[in-house]
Amino acid sequence: MTVDRSGSRIDHLNLAVPDLAAAVAFYEPVLASIGITKMLEIPPNATPNQPTAMTGFGLADVKPYFWLIDGGTVGSNMHVAFTVDTHDDVHTFYKAALNAGATSLLEPAVHPEYHDDYYGAFVLDPHAINLEAVCHRQTKPR
């Protein structure tokens, strides 16, 4: 039985980071490897309720949904997973993250503890955020 694991009820996500410039330098090439691009940069104090700088990433021509917020403290056990279409995309993300300075947690592999077709790779970004690229469908083995 095939289960549709697409979709999300999350509209956007903000991650507070201690150094926005360093975070953007890491995330820009890593997210670009899976088709997510930098879309918007908001300077500090753009509105009264937004005192720090922000950079938003998303799919081209849609909207930013992944935001990095300057001057924050990264929480413990922080994890963000990005859905990709193929196992090859998982490998591309993993290699791009390592090239940008991430530390490997788990190389690309099937993780049947989640479900039979769960194929993912896990890294730690330079701020110790656990990042993952995951494909939820079976594709041809590498």
Q: Which domains, ranges and CATH numbers included, belong to the chain? A: 13-135 (3.10.180.10)
**pLDDT average, residue stretch 114-132:** 95
CA distance 37 to 8: 19
CA distance 81 to 79: 7
* Residue 73 DSSP code: -
Residue 13 has pLDDT above 90, yes or no: yes
Tokens at residue 134, please? 């995951």
Residue 1 has pLDDT above 60, yes or no: no
pLDDT above 70 coverage of the chain, percent: 92
pLDDT single digits (tens) 75-113: 888 999 999 999 999 999 999 999 999 999 999 999 999
CA-CA-CA-CA dihedral for 26, 88, 36, 127, to nearest 10: -30
81: nearest Cα among 117, 54, 119: 119
Environment class of 84 (CB within 10 Å of its CB; exposed 0-12, middle 13-18, buried 19+):
buried
Confidence of residue 60 (pLDDT cuts 50, 70, 90): confident
Average pLDDT, the chain: 91
